[in-house]
Structure 1
């Protein structure tokens, strides 16, 4: 049975979805706006759905059916890309483009080795990173913008498979001259009367819950989504904080020393996972990434 569409039509569809207008998509695809518009009209006729709501200045907004079509188109083009690069190559050859999503707070710990050691090990592979908030990663995987992504296991919705790549137990940071800074571990009760500097991102807001789970009330002094500001305030003795990811250097952005102290209370470790959509055959690119993570991050 003959295909009802071409890969070029799918490429135009994705370009318009990404760029928001036919004119911008045409420039990206090195085609004329007329050719892109005609191609999409033909694609709509063949699929029997309306993909876009066209507006003035050739702007285009995806319909719900169009959003589903774009997600499917990304997967089709990814499979076509895999076929093109795998044909005639050995099973050890990894080529093409691998798009990986990453939760912003995890990026400093995971992306550098990915763009360094992993990319160096596979010189024919192009690695692209989509970085953003926690909910962006599963959405980007679901709609085909990424093949896989890094996020916390607690943020993983249904319909995904994952592999644990790191485990981190929450810990306390204190000013280096704090009376508890030299302790082997601290109880949260020891800090009950002190101000908490809250790292204000979804994954870290559990700091207040940790305190409350110990039967205490958190005295929040300041909220910030800037981790370096949080660490700098703590280094100056303005309060303490509870973090998940461990910094390799116990110095604030200003160069002031910080004490990182384990928490004695029973607190579960936070798991970082590499996730992908369930029921989808993994490309060799993604399989290679999983193998790399198992060795590099554990």
Structure 2
């Protein structure tokens, strides 16, 4: 089983060109499955082995959504083995997926967003950088991995766009608003060079958002800094970089943005993924009606 998983992971990374985070998620999910079935070879796995694994996971408190993700990884593995001729039958064909309802993501209000964007101290280089990152994140709806991997050449300030390399190496063009462009200009023209002064200067790295160590900002470091700004603003919500992406999408839809255009900006392969934001917008409108209509 370990060899089969290794071959599948190599296929995901080298042939399907999946993002690093996706490959790591597949590896973790399949490792837990391999531990459950122990020494059984892939050809010996039966549907009962998979349902037993699912039951074990539920007993350990895993959510239905996480369990569905694990089952998707297992299905992918056995489909790969079936196509490559390593097994004659796919045991996942007789296993039902767990049912779960669509979870509507919580978003920030406009006031909360404004407060968060204003939180960094723009009198220091790190603050100018963080302000530019937050403005860009909210202006474009990028994933945090896409944000930290942005390179200078992918930002076109004259056209007001960024060229983003998303999941699976797919590229898309996303517009950047005027306020984010101004924040980016302030950061690039002053703070970026200062941050890289001891590491070879502005041309020493192609990455747009950098640290004093000379390398790109990491997801983990940005998350920690974001948490500091959330605490500073006293926002009583579970805020993450992804929540700014949710807020970007919801606020656009509330103001009449076309769903297909939003799908393109977010880099969703399936329109069904984008449609969750219509539910968010509807739920928020209903709550506004309850809060402010005199006969609600």
Whose helix fraction is larger, Structure 1's or Structure 2's?
Answer: 2
Whose strand fraction is larger, Structure 1's or Structure 2's?
Answer: 1
TM range (shorter): under 0.3
Q: When the two structures are superposed, what TM-score results if normalisation uses the length of structure 1?
A: 0.22
Q: When the two structures are superposed, what TM-score results if normalisation uses the length of structure 2?
A: 0.22
